Amino acid sequence: MKKKILLTIGLIVLVSLSYVAYLWFQPHRDVQATKADAEITAQALVSEFIDNPAAANQKYLDSEGESKVLIISGQVVKIDTDQLGQKVVLLKNSDSDKLGVACTFTLETNAEAESLKVGETARIKGVIRSGAEYDEDLDLVINAVVEKSSLAN
C-alpha cells in the first residue's frame, strides 16, 4: 500500500516538473521581428484605458491573453534607466499631459533608446503590459506600460 502511494506521489511530481520545464523552455516571442497588430498615438491609447479599461483590455489582448504588438507614437518627454539597466522612454501627446505611455526597452535595444532626444516625436514598437489609470481623489497617475520596446521602422 505504501509503495502505491509513493509511486503515485512520485508520478505526480514527475508530471508537474515536466510541465514546468515545458513552460520554462518554450521559445519567447520575438516582438521586434513580429509585424505590428495596430498603430496608435500615446494619447489615444491612454484615453481608451481611462474611458473603458475592460474594452481596451479586450481590444489589445488576444484570445490567449497575450498582448498584441503595437506601434505607439508620441512626444518623448522623459528618458530614464530602470533597475535592470533598461531604458524607459515616456511618450505623451505634450509635456502638459498628466498621463502617458512608459516604453521599456530591452538590453538588446537600449542603444536605440539612447538615440532619442527629449522633445522629439518617436514611434515605438512593443507589447502593452498595463493600461493607464488616474485617481482624481489622490491625484494618482499611473502611466500605461509597454515592454520589449524598440524603435519602429
Strand partners, 151: 124
Residue 32 lies in a domain: no
Q: What is the pLDDT of residue 105?
A: 93
List, in order, residues 6 or more apart from 107 with CB less than 8 Å away.
Answer: 84, 85, 86
Answer whether 113's CB lies under 8 Å from 85's CB. Answer: no
What global pTM score does this model have? 0.76
DSSP-derived letter for residue 33 is T
Q: How confident is the model at residue 133 (pLDDT cuts 50, 70, 90)?
A: confident
Q: Which of 75, 64, 62, 56 is nearest to 118 (CA)?
A: 75
CATH code of the domain covering residue 85: 2.40.50.140
Chain mean pLDDT for the chain: 87
Name the amino acid, one letter, at 118.
Answer: V
Residue 24 lies in a domain: no
What secondary structure, in 3-state letters, does 79-146 show? EEECCCCCEEEEEECCCCCCCCEEEEECCCCHHHHHCCCCCCEEEEEEEEEECCEEECCCCEEECEEE
Cα-trace Rg, the chain: 20
Three cell numbers written together for 108: 538588446
Number of domains in the chain: 1
Residue 106 lies in a domain: yes
> What percent of the chain has a predicted confidence (pLDDT) above 90?
42
Domain that holds residue 108: 38-151
Q: Could you give the CA distance from residue 123 to residue 36 in angstroms, rounded to a whole number?
A: 12
Three cell numbers written together for 91: 511618450
pLDDT at 26 over 80: no
Q: Each residue of 51-80: pLDDT tens digit?
A: 998 898 888 887 666 788 899 999 999 999
Answer whether 101's CB lies under 8 Å from 90's CB. Answer: yes
